[in-house]
Amino acid sequence: MSAVAMPSERDAVPGAAEPILVVDRIVKRFDTPDGTLTAVDDVSLSIKPGEFFGVIGPSGCGKSTLFNVIGGLLDGYDGAVRVGGETVRGPHPAIGMIFQEESTFPWRSVIDNVAFPLEIAGMPKAERYARAGHFVSLVGLNGFERRFPAELSGGMRQRVSMARTLAAEPKIMLMDEPFASLDEQTRLLLGDKVLQIQQELKQTTLLITHNITEAVQLSDRIMVMTYRPGKVKRIVDIDLPRPRTSEIVSSEAFGRYVAQIWNDLREEATRGLLDDESRKLRAGGPS
Amino acid sequence: MAETGRLTAPARARRWVQAHPVTTLRIVIIVAVLLVWEGLARSGWLYRDVVPSWVAIGRALVVTLSDATFYWHLYTTFYEIGWAMVIGGVSGLAVGILLGGSKLMQRAYEPLLYYLGPCPKIIFFPVMIMWFGVGPGSKIAMGAISCFFPVALNVAGGMREIDKVLIRVGRSFRANTWQMVTKVYMPAMRHPIINGVRLGLGVCLIGTLLAETKLSNAGVGFLVIQSYTLFNMPHMYSLLIVLFVIAIGANALIGKLGGLDQIRRS
Ligand SMILES: Nc1ncnc2c1ncn2[C@@H]1O[C@H](COP(=O)(O)OP(=O)(O)OP(=O)(O)O)[C@@H](O)[C@H]1O
Ligand SMILES: [Mg+2]
């Protein structure tokens, strides 16, 4: 157990406020039929309030595992996750999660999906519907309140999941490839939406992706992960002006960041490509 | 279509038959059975009343339906089935959730359910009579035991089929155990639950009525056996028609239940 280790120096944000989220030397192993698999190996992060932090890495490198550890949904790991200095054991009220998989409740209408966390928290009916309605329109789904997930497109369902997590008003948003199943244009426009909402609500965001464009478009910093075991390869600061919109994608500085990260990623991606599991890798290339 | 008006009656009938082949075939088989029955009844080949004429059965049906005590027996049967469904359904749901939620429980107990499930429940009837008496109690027990197995097995299977990400969503919003059960597990399992109830209702009807015909003092099953011992065949057939209608009604209800999963929840 390396649980007693100090937060590592290299991840401290210079001159920043107290970090709101600290990931301290996380190691997560899985027992598989072929032996022990180290999915996340000694990952440390320190994220300050309001920061947009991107995590990028090839398919199967341990991003979702890290996501679930931070969200308190996995245990049996070494190291610690701290929110505002408090060690996380189980799902933390300050953290909201948007999952990689399709995660709307098929038996609930759009508005009832979005109202779910409020219902769990015991908010009175009228109040929670008012609040849920606000977040439904925030993600641009006005008029679809009474529809059911089966009647929506994939992108719309992702927005429902997003609105549902936003409705809980978490201080920290964890997003695991929320746009993975979308086409490039929708992805960019939804990315704009996420940025706009994040700025409005002053949320701290951790976005997991294997799409470089998306990562650079949205993030203040990007962590590149290695493939098997999932280690921190590099953390890149993205010095692009804010507010950003998807138009920034065509700028020259943007292109340089993409090239730089692609360079870091190529080696890992190639290793990942040799692996059976990296079917989805294509989305990680420069676009 | 102007021609239709000038068609003769037989021509119109032929056209209708061509347009509704399925309905026609159904009508044909029903009419054929009724005719054969009536032929047998009038032939005198069989002992008197073993196959009574439809006229006699119809008359007996009128007598049955205008008898107040019949409704008391009918009520008793419904009462038994109702309670059997509630008891068997709720306990089946609880046990199913327990088995589906724990690997250990599943390994320990699910094989038992698989072996006991297809067992004819009527073998428990003598025990139920001793425990709950000759009255509705033992019938409810029989119906409940019958209903329990399909519900428990379906729920246990359904529980394991739940999309795991939905459970993670519930947990990430810090739902407590009760909220997880009522707002995530149960609605996520609506299809297997309805399926279990559907199968459960079928075997519950069988269990309850079978018990009534074996040993009882009330219920439609009891009336059937009573009229049999009195050799009142028209009366017995009229009761069988009533049971037939109940079975069809239950099937219709099950069909409705099957449609329940399409009904939107708020
Ligand atoms: N519950 C588990 N049991 C065993 N192995 C697991 C488990 N969860 C994940 N793994 C393994 O851990 C590794 C990392 O998985 P993870 O889901 O974190 O990858 P990822 O980076 O999110 O990939 P993707 O981009 O495709 O979503 C994979 O090799 C996976 O097979
Ligand atoms: Mg993943």
**pLDDT per residue as tens digits for the range B231-260:** 888 888 899 988 888 888 887 877 776 655
Answer whether B124's CB lies under 8 Å from B145's CB: yes
The whole-number pLDDT of residue A1 equals 40
- In this complex, do A120 and B190 lie within 8 Å of one another by their Cβ atoms? no
- Per DSSP, the residues of chain B read -GGGGG--HHHHHHHHHHH-HHHHHHHHHHHHHHHHHHHHHHH--S-TTTS--HHHHHHHHHHHHT-HHHHHHHHHHHHHHHHHHHHHHHHHHHHHHHHHH-HHHHHHHHHHHHHHTTS-GGGGHHHHHHHH-SSHHHHHHHHHHHHHHHHHHHHHHHHHHS-HHHHHHHHHTT--HHHIIIIIIHHHTHHHHHHHHHHHHHHHHHHHHHHHHHS-SSSHHHHHHHHHHTT-HHHHHHHHHHHHHHHHHHHHHHHHHHHHTTSPP-
Listed in sequence order, the residues at least 6 apart from B73 whose beta carbon sits closer than 8 Å to its beta carbon are B218, B219, B220, B222, B223
At B175-218, the pLDDT tens digits run 998 999 889 988 898 888 888 888 898 889 889 988 988 888 88
Ligand 1 site: residues with CB under 6 angstroms? A 30, 32, 37, 39, 57, 59-65, 100, 210, 277, 280
Closest residue to B172, CB basis, from A97, A107, A119: A97
The whole-number pLDDT of residue B150 equals 92
Global confidence as pTM:
0.75
Closest residue to A91, CB basis, from B166, B174, B187: B174
Is the pLDDT confidence value at A11 over 70? no
- In this complex, do A107 and B168 lie within 8 Å of one another by their Cβ atoms? no
d(CA A225, CA A59): 10
Band the pLDDT of A214: cuts 50, 70, 90. confident
**Percentage of chain A modeled with pLDDT above 70:** 88
CA gyration radius, chain B: 25
Lowest mean per-residue pLDDT among A98-112, A228-242, B218-232: A228-242
Is the pLDDT confidence value at A284 over 70? no
Largest Cα–Cα distance in chain A?
54
Using the mean position of ligand 1's atoms as its centre, give its distance from the Cα of residue A165 in Å. Answer: 23
The whole-number pLDDT of residue A20 equals 85
Is the pLDDT confidence value at A6 over 90? no
Q: Pull the structure tokens for residue B54.
A: 């439809």
Is the pLDDT confidence value at B2 over 60? no
Residues in chain A: 287
Give domain status of residue B214, yes or no: yes
Q: Pull the structure tokens for residue B115.
A: 């072996």
Mean pLDDT of A174-185: 81
Give domain status of residue B51, yes or no: no
Task: Please write down the HEC assignment for all residues of chain A.
Answer: CCCCCCCCHHHCCCCCCCCCEEEEEEEEEEEECCEEEEEEEEEEEEECCCCEEEEECCCCCCHHHHHHHHCCCCCCCEEEEEECCEECCCCCCCEEEECCCCCCCCCCCHHHHHHHHHHHCCCCHHHHHHHHHHHHHHCCCCCCCCCCHHHCCHHHHHHHHHHHHHHCCCCEEEEECCCCCCCHHHHHHHHHHHHHHHHHHCCEEEEEECCHHHHHHHCCEEEEECCCCECEEEEEECCCCCCCCHHHHHCHHHHHHHHHHHHHHHHHHHHHHCCCCHHHHHHHCCC
Listed in sequence order, the residues at least 6 apart from A112 whose beta carbon sits closer than 8 Å to its beta carbon are A105, A132, B265, B266
Residues B118 and B173 grouped into a single domain: yes
Band the pLDDT of A3: cuts 50, 70, 90. very low
Amino acid identity, position B237: Y
Answer whether B217's CB lies under 8 Å from B135's CB: yes
Listed in sequence order, the residues at least 6 apart from B221 whose beta carbon sits closer than 8 Å to its beta carbon are B77, B208, B209, B210, B211, B212, B213, B243
Quickly count: other Cβ atoms within 10 Å of residue A65's Cβ. 22
The whole-number pLDDT of residue A280 equals 47
Nearest CA to ligand 1 atom 4: A30
* Closest listed residue to residue A249, CA positions, set A198, A207, A196, A211: A211
The whole-number pLDDT of residue A196 equals 80
CATH number given to A7-94+173-282: 3.40.50.300
Q: Pull the structure tokens for residue B139.
A: 């019938």
Answer whether A246's CB lies under 8 Å from A193's CB: no
At B47-65, the pLDDT tens digits run 777 788 888 888 888 988 8
Is the pLDDT confidence value at B152 over 90? yes
Residues B127 and B233 grouped into a single domain: yes
Give domain status of residue B3, yes or no: no
Dihedral sign (CA B68, B72, B77, B78): positive
Residues B123 and B247 grouped into a single domain: yes
The whole-number pLDDT of residue B257 equals 67
Is the pLDDT confidence value at A104 over 80? yes
Residues B172 and B236 grouped into a single domain: yes
Residues B108 and B159 grouped into a single domain: yes
Is the pLDDT confidence value at A4 over 50? no
Band the pLDDT of A283: cuts 50, 70, 90. very low
Q: Pull the structure tokens for residue A109.
A: 């209408």
Band the pLDDT of B43: cuts 50, 70, 90. confident
The whole-number pLDDT of residue A7 equals 45
Q: Pull the structure tokens for residue A48.
A: 């300050």
Beta bridge partners of A221: A53, A237
Amino acid identity, position A1: M
Give domain status of residue B52, yes or no: no
**Which residue range(s) make up the domain with B26?**
9-46
CB < 8 Å to A148, chain B: 264
Is the pLDDT confidence value at B157 over 80? yes
Q: Pull the structure tokens for residue A67.
A: 């996501």
Residues B95 and B198 grouped into a single domain: yes
The whole-number pLDDT of residue B263 equals 46
CB < 8 Å to B171, chain A: 73, 91
Using the mean position of ligand 1's atoms as its centre, give its distance from the Cα of residue A38 in Å. Answer: 10
The per-residue pLDDT of chain B, averaged, comes to: 86
**Percentage of chain B modeled with pLDDT above 70:** 94
ipTM over 0.90: no
Residues B75 and B41 grouped into a single domain: no
Answer whether B234's CB lies under 8 Å from B59's CB: yes
At A191-209, the pLDDT tens digits run 777 778 788 778 899 999 8
Lowest mean per-residue pLDDT among A81-85, A168-172, A267-271, B7-11: A267-271
Quickly count: other Cβ atoms within 10 Å of residue A278's Cβ. 20
- Domains of chain A, by residue range, sit at 7-94+173-282, 102-169
Is the pLDDT confidence value at B266 over 50? no
Is the pLDDT confidence value at A278 over 60? no
Domain tally, chain B: 2
Residues B143 and B25 grouped into a single domain: no
Q: Pull the structure tokens for residue A266.
A: 């190529």
Q: How many CB pairs (< 8 A) connect A and B?
A: 56
Amino acid identity, position A240: L
Residues B86 and B159 grouped into a single domain: yes
Using the mean position of ligand 1's atoms as its centre, give its distance from the Cα of residue B161 in Å. Answer: 20
Q: Which residue has the higher pLDDT, A159 or A188?
A: A159
Closest residue to B169, CB basis, from A68, A99, A121: A99
Q: Which residue has the higher pLDDT, A124 or A258?
A: A124
Answer whether A81's CB lies under 8 Å from A53's CB: no
Residues B133 and B26 grouped into a single domain: no
The whole-number pLDDT of residue A98 equals 92
Band the pLDDT of B86: cuts 50, 70, 90. very high
The whole-number pLDDT of residue A259 equals 84
Residues B195 and B63 grouped into a single domain: yes
Q: Which residue has the higher pLDDT, B86 or B39?
A: B86
Query: Which ligand has an atom closest to residue A277 CA?
Result: 1
Nearest CA to ligand 1 atom 1: A30
CB < 8 Å to A107, chain B: 187-188, 190, 264-265
Is the pLDDT confidence value at A279 over 50? no
Residues B28 and B141 grouped into a single domain: no
Q: How far does chain A reach from its first CA to its final CA, in angstroms?
A: 41
Give domain status of residue B85, yes or no: yes
Give domain status of residue B203, yes or no: yes
Task: For residue A94, report the phi and psi dihedrals to the nearest 5 degrees.
Answer: -80, -10
Q: Does B20 touch chain A (CB under 8 A)?
A: no
Kindly identify which residue of chain A lies nearest to residue B185, measuring between CA atoms.
A105
